[in-house]
Amino acid sequence: MNKRKLGESGLEVSAIGLGCMRMTFGDAPIGTHQQMVSFLHSSVERGVTFFDTAEVYGPFTNELLLGEALEPFKGKVVIATKFGFDPDDEGNLRPGKTNSRPERIKQVAEESLKRLRVEAIDLFYQHRPDPMVPVEDVAGAVKELIKEGKVKHFGLSESDAATIRRAHAVQPVAAVQSEYSLWWRNVEADVLPTCAELGIGFVPYSPLGRGYLTGKVDESTTFDSSDIRSKNPRFTPEAIKANRAVIDLLERIAREKSGTPAQIALAWLLAQKPWIVPIPGSRKLERLDENLGAASVELTASDLLQIDQALSQIAVVGDRY
């Protein structure tokens, strides 16, 4: 697996990372704990060195899983985790309620260090902007954690360009994580140019459009009530059928490249910038192997132009959420 550097931070990771949320949280069925530990071990054996988690996934259980599974590879892998949500009186995190006050950030860091079984958090993202806390205060809190040796790199997730600039002025931002794929390209307007200007890496989550860009979802596909796609506007039977033109395009190029639609979608992201590192989620080895195979798919300038021209003629149906 080739390596990439996330911008000018010096943080080097595998060209394709692994989003780990669904290993403990989200749509059913989820594999057993031991199955997921074995899967993570297999990921490392295949060259994956970049793993994405968050305290809110579970909550807490995802970090615990990664801490156990990746402890034997300490120093050889990079684990990114996130802060930014508020617990209730019983300690349960509330995904809809943000809390990025400096004292909360420092508390989360201490707890995540224990769950991840590491001496320092490799990449510590603010999970979502907090309208009640200036981002300068957020960056300042992480800066102190970096000085204390508890955090190595600072990241932001789903932040706009202006917020990225304000944070970066206080503490250099190593990476920005946001949704980005062939069918969700809003970050191209100002976030990606800002990252390019400031030397910040970019980490696309949902790079396969929550599975749609694999070509394995059609209008007859049903989703368990625990699956976020069961309530997603882009996964109604009508939207799935209407968006089929995107899959037709990917399948056509995949045939030319002896690949799969998923590999073309990931290769397209890799071809956008050398500091982009997608983190598709997976829980099955065959899917992992397929995704990692995208790193070997070569898309020429002509291929990319062809894809862009075709996409410009396709109106994607359905909101992101």
Q: Which segments within 63-196 are labelled E, that is strand?
A: 78-83, 85-87, 93-98, 121-126, 151-157, 173-179
CB 99: neighbour CB atoms within 10 A? Answer: 19
Is residue 321 part of the annotated active site? The answer reads no
CB-CB contact of 297 with 283 (8 Å):
no
CA–CA dist 26, 95 (Å, integer): 13
- Residue 134, CA atoms < 13 Å, CB-side half-sphere: 7
User: Do residues 161 and 197 make contact, with C-beta atoms less than 8 angstroms apart?
Assistant: no
Closest by alpha carbon to 85, among 121, 65, 113, 60? 60
Determine the Cα–Cα distance for residues 171 and 152; give it in Å rounded to an integer. Answer: 12
CA distance 99 to 43: 33
Q: Which position among 57, 180, 205, 212 bears the catalytic label?
A: 57
Distance CA 91, CA 286 (A): 37
Q: Is the preceding omega at residue 59 within 30 degrees of 0, hence cis?
A: yes
Q: Could you list the active site residues? A: 57
